[in-house]
Amino acid sequence: MEAFRKSERYSPEFYVVEKQENPSLTKGAKAHRVSPDLDLKAIARMARRYHNRIDFGLTDTEDFVTAGGRDLLEREAGVQMVCVSRDYAVEGSKADQRILFDRIFPGANPSYAVFDPRAYGSQDEALDQFRKVISRIPSPVIKPDAPARGAGVGVWGSDFDTVEAAQTFFLNLLSRGRVVLEERVDGEESSFHAISDGKHFVPLPLTRDYKRSLEKNVGSLTGGMGSYRGPSFRLPFLAESDWEHLASREEQAFRRWKGRGSNPGLRGIVLYDAIMHTGRGFKVLERNSRGGNTEFINLLTTIADDFVEVCFRILDGSLRGIRFSREASVVTCAVPLSYGLKGSAPQVEQEVDFSRAEMRSRKSRDKLRVFAMDVRFEGGRTLLGTSRAAAVVGVADSVEEARRVSIEGCRLLTGPLRWRGDIASPSDIAESRRHLRRLERARTRH
């Protein structure tokens, strides 16, 4: 909403369907509906009712995309959606992603294996196959086939460190469907986004997110505790040549995926890839079909083009590039005290107050932003949910200054909240740089 409101040419109106009453979205909407399960039929009814006032729609949830939400709204409500069609929503299956990358992205896959519970006559048979695979992939990452928003993914050395514990984790996932076992790739992670109009491929600045619940990247996997982008398209711990090689390879893979000519199914945020940079190039850990949460906040707070105009160019096939400011953006998520901590009782329904941070934001000339996340507005109070409560964003000429602004904003929040203080810290960035250099030296020795 904020990115759209910056438009100097348009005065946008917003028609919102969401799971619960988020104070920011409720106040900013021309029309607003709550649908606790984001039922596609409810969304379509809203779109049909206002179709003559809506130019296009966007989503930030993979559930909508993988369920064919674009296909439904365009067919039944006549509302164009700025997202991929169901056929290209590859995040619906991690197994299918791996098979796709074998075809379009040679060398980008880590070693992997897919387990389908329907292929085994017994648990012992599945375990026998599992043991054979981890004999050649000894430090695995084990993932459910369906999206799990970070949760449900097990990493060797963090979530289990013995074969027996890995087997237990594997069997738990296999009882619910297909399982993907992948080689654990050592390196430094980034998030690569690209937007397309179905014909042109436009890479966006690289971002870095922090998935673990505690500082120094320990604790449980979460939906993300924060993220950052630097003042250029690359990240500060990467060389310019690393960025150029990644962007080139991603575009080549997109061209293979798209086929000849224009492909309207690949329209919108066509990919958000989790990249692992290693001493031997990079690997793609997973692909998503919507913007990264929280990484897309970094991008929208530093976009220099009119975002309304960008969306229209996506729809009419004239998107040849998107300009971004040469500023850094750091997002720090304020979360309930129990978030991501095993065995902790959630602080659901407790009151939080963002007013001091929001007041500072209004005086900051867009250098500090506060976005409400999983909170509910009720009876004049803002109440905590179980997930991240707020994204607090600092924007500045340098990563270090943007981080300072973000942390300062977090300290102005009131309520039972915590946050990671090491997101985009100088020591974290320096360690990422040292880690990559160690991996590169190890490669040259071998």
Q: Where are the domains of the chain?
A: 2-81, 111-183, 188-428
Per-residue pLDDT at 148: 62
Q: What would the pLDDT profile of 50-61 be if each residue is shown by its tens digit? A: 999 999 999 988
Model confidence band, residue 351 (pLDDT cutoffs 50, 70, 90) = very high
Average pLDDT over residues 383-404: 96
CA dist 374 and 371 (Å) reads 10
Per-residue pLDDT at 243: 97
Answer yes or no: are the C-beta atoms of 384 and 373 closer than 8 Å: no
Judged against a pLDDT cut of 90, whether residue 315 lies above it is answered with: yes
**Fold agreement between 111-183 and 188-428:** no
Q: Whole-model pTM?
A: 0.93
Judged against a pLDDT cut of 80, whether residue 348 lies above it is answered with: no
Per-residue pLDDT at 149: 54
Percent of the chain with pLDDT over 90: 86
150-154, 188-192, 413-417: the lowest-pLDDT one: 150-154
Judged against a pLDDT cut of 80, whether residue 73 lies above it is answered with: yes
Identify the CATH homologous superfamily for domain 111-183.
Answer: ATP-grasp fold, A domain (3.30.1490.20)
Q: What would the pLDDT profile of 220-252 be if each residue is shown by its tens digit? A: 889 899 999 999 999 999 999 999 999 999 999
Which residue in the block uniquely carries the two structure tokens 């976005």? 371
> Which CATH number applies to 188-428: 3.30.70.3400, 3.40.50.2300, 3.30.9.10, 3.30.470.20?
3.30.470.20
Answer yes or no: are the C-beta atoms of 427 and 354 closer than 8 Å: no
Judged against a pLDDT cut of 60, whether residue 151 lies above it is answered with: no
